[in-house]
Amino acid sequence: MLSLLAPLAVGAALSTRGFVVLTNLTEEGAAADWGAVALGLPERVFPGRLLSSGSNTLHAVHEENAKVSDQYASQCHESPEGCEAWSSNFTTAGAPLLPHTDGYVYGDHMPDVIFLVAEAPAERGGENFVVDGEAVLVRLEADAATAPLVGAAQTARVDLTERVSSGGIATGREAFGPIFRRRSDGGVWWRRQLQTRAYESGIEQPADGAPSSVRAELQPYQSLWRPAGAVHEAEQTEAMLEAVDAAIQREAGAAERFSLRRGEALLINNYRVLHGREGYTSRGRDGRKVWRVWCWTDRSLGLPEGMAEVGSPFDADALLD
């Protein structure tokens, strides 16, 4: 954990680990406007480096819970195919979140930085965890069975687009390319979108009523990645996709869990780190309150052309126009 009063240390930690927990966001004992606190973080951490003020990117994560069920009901009402694409058990309300990146709706112009600000922690559970892309590559390289596939993970053309029709949450702009790319600064850039059906097998519900959790055992293929290159390369690409997905699951199982206290924020390099969360229980619908800010710094590929930012995949209707 690092104080927001130490910006150089924050930058160094973000470069080294890909994420950092920020403390001292507000004055001790002072009443806080948490929306304003969340909106003010990007400029405080990245002064002069933002391509967006973040004023259009704020979204209360706790408000998405109702939107998920509404979206599912809408898909089922509009078409059987839409309903088929959704997992009947998928919900974010109290359920664990499998490791993923944010902003896939923008294709390659996804935000490079995410802030998750804790206004009110869960009553029980809700621990965060991250999966580092660098660690996934190391895991693949260390295994004799998967080491030959590392090259394909950085060269094979893959369909990285999220589509409702394939089991995704929303349909975003098209994106194609290798899973892992190396940036000019040496950092890794990757992403992961999930089939909603992955939540049927990927979540364990304890019998004693404790919060649900991400299963530690290897589960069936969870990602929406699909081969997009030459037909004769499809078999090797499929094997690579399975290997990367399995490595992510194993990294997620081994990742340290940590909890955000009231007034703390998780800052994530959205190009390098996937983030997830264990299940939780809270009193009332809004018992757990977290604010999310997506932002684009001078390290990103730029703001999405022709549209303002959105704060949630459920606000992405303009992408389909």
Asked if the structure places residue 48 within a domain, the reply is yes
Top-ranked range on mean pLDDT: pick from 30-39, 62-71, 158-167, 299-308: 158-167
Asked if the structure places residue 53 within a domain, the reply is yes
| pLDDT mean over 79-92 | 54
Measure the CA–CA gap between 137 and 182, rounded to whole angstroms. Answer: 12
Asked if the structure places residue 243 within a domain, the reply is yes
Which H helix or E strand runs over 135?
A: helix 133-142
- Given pLDDT bands bounded at 50, 70 and 90, which one contains residue 21? very high
Q: Would you say the pTM of this structure is higher than 0.85?
A: yes
| Count of structural domains, the chain | 1
DSSP-derived 3-state class of residue 198: helix
Measure the CA–CA gap between 287 and 152, rounded to whole angstroms. Answer: 44
Residue 165, CA distances (Å) to 38, 73, 169, 196, 246 in order: 34, 15, 9, 11, 24
Asked if the structure places residue 155 within a domain, the reply is yes
Q: Which two tokens stand for residue 266?
A: 């998780």
CATH number of residue 121's parent domain? 3.60.130.10
DSSP-derived 3-state class of residue 185: coil
Measure the CA–CA gap between 267 and 270, rounded to whole angstroms. Answer: 9
- Given pLDDT bands bounded at 50, 70 and 90, which one contains residue 80? low
Asked if the structure places residue 81 within a domain, the reply is no
> In which residue are the tokens 């804790």 written?
118
| pLDDT mean over 152-170 | 90
67 or 194, greater pLDDT: 194
Q: What are phi and psi of 5, to 5 degrees?
A: -80, 0
Which residue range forms the structural domain that includes residue 119? 2-74+87-318
Asked if the structure places residue 302 within a domain, the reply is yes
**Whether pLDDT at 164 is above 90:** no
Task: Provide the 8-state DSSP code for 317.
Answer: G
Asked if the structure places residue 82 within a domain, the reply is no
Asked if the structure places residue 43 within a domain, the reply is yes
